[in-house]
Amino acid sequence: MVAWLQSLTILLTFAGLGLALYQIDMSAIANIDWRYFSLAILLAIFGFVIQGATWWWSVKQQSFEYLLIDGIREHGVTIFAKYIPGKVLMIMGRAALTHQTTHLSVKQLGLLSLSNQIITLLASVPILLIAFIVTPTFLADEVFKNHLSWPLLIILFVGFCIFIYALLQLRSRKRNWFDAIFSVGNLGVFVLASASWVFFSLGFSLLLMALGMPFSFGHGSVFVIAAVIGIVAIIFPGGLGIREAGISGMLIASGVATETAIQAAILSRLWFLIGELVIFLLSTPRLKHSKARSSN
């Protein structure tokens, strides 16, 4: 069963990569500042590495012998599984790989993977709050001034994630709700996930600079909002279309020229895909390593 799931994950990972490449309009890379774009890619790679570290930290709370390099590589190998609708393979794929290097069952690891994903979503909230504080003019932009439902939607989203996560933790560990949510392990994942969102936000800010815009952490946080929406919209593979629409819509509403906003949205997909591809290629040797260790 595990071997079948791993093979399917790898197959669909390459299918997701092909789908993502097909969606990119390469004309968006014309006349950009490659210095800023290259730095943006580097920050995206750091963000993905930290995401792998969050997976390592989650598993390490249950399996102390689990290595950081294993967590990063197993996250990287399955990173394109997010482009498969439903995101089930994204959650279960790394669980199947990690099962081969730990004593934990696929069911346990699947639950850990889902919990890790929920905490990652919650970790985006502090980044958005910081963006609103350090760039107060961004609060006055039309996107927030004319959409009073935003605060309510954020509150409902956070509450929903906490509720689902608490249920998962209580079911698996049978602890009180406070301990289930605020354990040391979960807080560690939260801190690491928040750091990954910071890197992605800064990377998107540099991407906008590559298009001639001034640096703005507030505008950089637009990517975080759109990425979270893309993750929650599970029927859309990798948030394709949804994330780009969110980025362009919010940038336009905040005063960015329509052409620049659309170009930024398209370029953001290429930027993120390059980062995903780099971490995937660096992680691919993990497949042979896993098979070698599991056979011993």
CB–CB of 231/157 below 8 Å?
no
- Round to whole Å and give the CA distance between 152 and 154: 5
- Round to whole Å and give the CA distance between 192 and 48: 11
Q: What is the reported pLDDT for 163?
A: 59
Average pLDDT by consecutive 10-residue portion of the chain (296 residues)?
50 58 57 90 96 92 84 86 68 82 85 84 81 55 48 58 61 56 76 94 94 86 84 62 80 83 87 89 65 48
Domain locations along the chain = 2-295
Q: What is the reported pLDDT for 139?
A: 44
Q: What is the reported pLDDT for 2?
A: 44
- Round to whole Å and give the CA distance between 136 and 166: 33
Give the residue among 274, 270, 219 at the shortest CA–CA distance from 247.
219
Q: pLDDT by residue (tens digit) across 178-228?
A: 555 567 678 888 999 999 999 999 999 999 999 989 888 878 888 888 888
Those residues whose C-beta lies under 8 Å from the C-beta of residue 120, and which sit 6 or more positions away, are 51, 54, 189, 193, 196
The model's pTM is 0.79
Q: What is the reported pLDDT for 40?
A: 96
